[in-house]
Amino acid sequence: MFSSGLCKPEHKQKRVLTLGISHESNTFSTQLTQESDFEVLRGADVLKDQLWAEIFKKADIELIPTLHANAWPGGVVERSAFENFRKEILEGIRNAGRLDGIYMDMHGALHVEGYADAQASLIKEIRELAGKDVLISGSFDLHGNPSPDFVENIDLMTAYRTAPHRDGVETKARAAQMLIDALKFGWKPHIEYVVIPILVPGEKSITEVEPLHSIYSQIPDIAKIEGLIDASIFAGYCWADLPRSAMRVFVVAKDKRYGKVSKNEACRLAQQIWDSREKLVLDVPSGPVDKMIDKSEEYAGKTVFISDSGDNTTAGAPGDNTQVLDALLRHKSKNALMAGIVDPEALKECINAGIGKNIKTTLGGRIDNVFGKPLEINAKVLFISPDSVMNTERGAAVIETDGVKTVILKTRRSFVEIKDFKEVGLNPLDFKIVVVKLGYLFPELRDIAPVHLMALTSGFCNLDIATLPYKNVHRPSYPLDGEMVWKPL
């Protein structure tokens, strides 16, 4: 008798495991990044409100989320933190059963104490456990430095195409779609890349301005070339004194047959970047902090944002250097805001004194005691955040000294969006000068800032990278070895 279903081909739902350890590790910082600095998501929480997860689900792929850990840029990651994360991820793979793919949600500039290349050793173990037939796809920040050893074990990779970053969601979605397509069409992806010996800070590699605007604009067309899937340009992360710190181009092909065309495209972009290296400069006026404060007077009636670039907390610096606050007070600046200085002790003094009361204290210079020093200050407490009262990590207070307001923070964080100012009861556009511990302004501030100046302050994110005490980066590299000759191979 006929039995329905007997001849039906067996439909096996594809299964993709997900993981991530995302960190930009500043090797010059003296402050280690600890496990408690990471936000760790597991299980269903990983997939909540994520476009990439929706894309997988729509493609009828079963997701097996493991650990996704993400921390704000900071110093090198503590060995035990990385090893705990790694153990949990590898355990997840061991227990996952049959897998068709793995999605890695990464930054790409992770560095761990005691490891030459923790990212490479992690993916090597993942590959050994998962086997060679499981496709691994990864999404990255373009400020990552993924090494050749890392790339050896990944099949598909894609990075942000904007800095300041506006396309994080799209990039992760692209990594998901690439994996779905590769599984569907049976691709055996092949990656070609060129490492470009250039060390460049993010502030000199903004994709919205030339020369990189025209170069990044070519990526979508390269991805459309027959046989190719995607291309990425990594500006890299220069505040990591590591052999893998460099710019690089990756081109991903559907299989080895398109190796030559992908290599050609990677070399073509790399050559353009190399030829433009002297044009990788700041896109805003810059100079010593005193000059920048004087210069702000040229913009009558306009709010001037000044970046304290050496103590850029979005690139891993501690955020407690007081040199710009000291300069604002020396210049007797009026209606200026310093956002902010990390100092839990001073915050405690504000809370103990109370709103409207005066405090006399020393501020900052405790974490970065290489470039910073504590500043003696007399100030009136204007605001204490509800988080301070509840003693949470987001505790903050606002104090004022001679027309200069300062936000004191319990823990290291950055003012990158308008809501960060709102949280402490401030509107940045009410001030003449707003000092932020950033390099480039993040998109929301970049869009509203009438004027932006870059103060070239000292610190662990010094923009004058030739002055940094590099020992381990590849040599020769531009601009450390200015006269060097190089060709993409």
Pick from 110, 172, 174, 107: nearest CA to 142: 107
Which parts of 301-364 are beta strand (E)? 304-308, 336-342, 358-363
Pick from 472, 414, 476, 469: nearest CA to 445: 414
Taking the complex as a whole, the smallest distance from the CB of residue 312 to Zn ion amounts, in Å, to 11
Describe the chain by its helix, strand, coil percentages, rounded to 5. Answer: 30, 25, 45
Taking the complex as a whole, the smallest distance from the CB of residue 439 to Zn ion amounts, in Å, to 10
Taking the complex as a whole, the smallest distance from the CB of residue 448 to Zn ion amounts, in Å, to 21
Nearer to Zn ion, 65 or 319 (CB): 319
Q: Which H or E run includes 290?
A: helix 289-296
Taking the complex as a whole, the smallest distance from the CB of residue 77 to Zn ion amounts, in Å, to 17
Nearer to Zn ion, 141 or 230 (CB): 141
Nearer to Zn ion, 141 or 203 (CB): 141
Nearer to Zn ion, 107 or 405 (CB): 107
The CA-to-CA distance between both ends of the chain, in Å, stands at 66
Residue 395 CB neighbour total at 10 angstroms: 22
3-state class of 40 per DSSP?
strand
Nearer to Zn ion, 143 or 204 (CB): 143
Nearer to Zn ion, 16 or 159 (CB): 159
State which amino acid sits at residue 315: A
Binding footprint of Zn ion on the chain (CB under 5 A): 141, 143
Pick from 295, 320, 315: nearest CA to 462: 315
Dihedral angle sign, alpha carbons of residues 79, 82, 87, 90: negative
Q: Is the peptide bond before 340 cis (omega within 30 degrees of 0)?
A: yes
Taking the complex as a whole, the smallest distance from the CB of residue 156 to Zn ion amounts, in Å, to 20
Q: Are strands 396-401 and 404-409 parallel, antiparallel or unpaired?
A: antiparallel
Taking the complex as a whole, the smallest distance from the CB of residue 137 to Zn ion amounts, in Å, to 20
**Are 110 and 79 a contacting pair, CB within 8 Å?**
no
Taking the complex as a whole, the smallest distance from the CB of residue 159 to Zn ion amounts, in Å, to 9
Euclidean distance between CA atoms 175 and 178, whole angstroms? 5
Q: How far is CA 58 from CA 12, 62, 158, 358, in A?
A: 16, 10, 21, 59
Taking the complex as a whole, the smallest distance from the CB of residue 440 to Zn ion amounts, in Å, to 10
Taking the complex as a whole, the smallest distance from the CB of residue 33 to Zn ion amounts, in Å, to 16
Euclidean distance between CA atoms 297 and 304, whole angstroms? 9
Nearer to Zn ion, 14 or 172 (CB): 172
Taking the complex as a whole, the smallest distance from the CB of residue 162 to Zn ion amounts, in Å, to 10
Nearer to Zn ion, 255 or 447 (CB): 447
Q: Which residue sits closest to Zn ion, CB atoms considered?
A: 143
Task: Give residue 192's region: left, alpha or beta (phi > 0; psi -120 to 50).
Answer: beta
Nearer to Zn ion, 207 or 458 (CB): 207
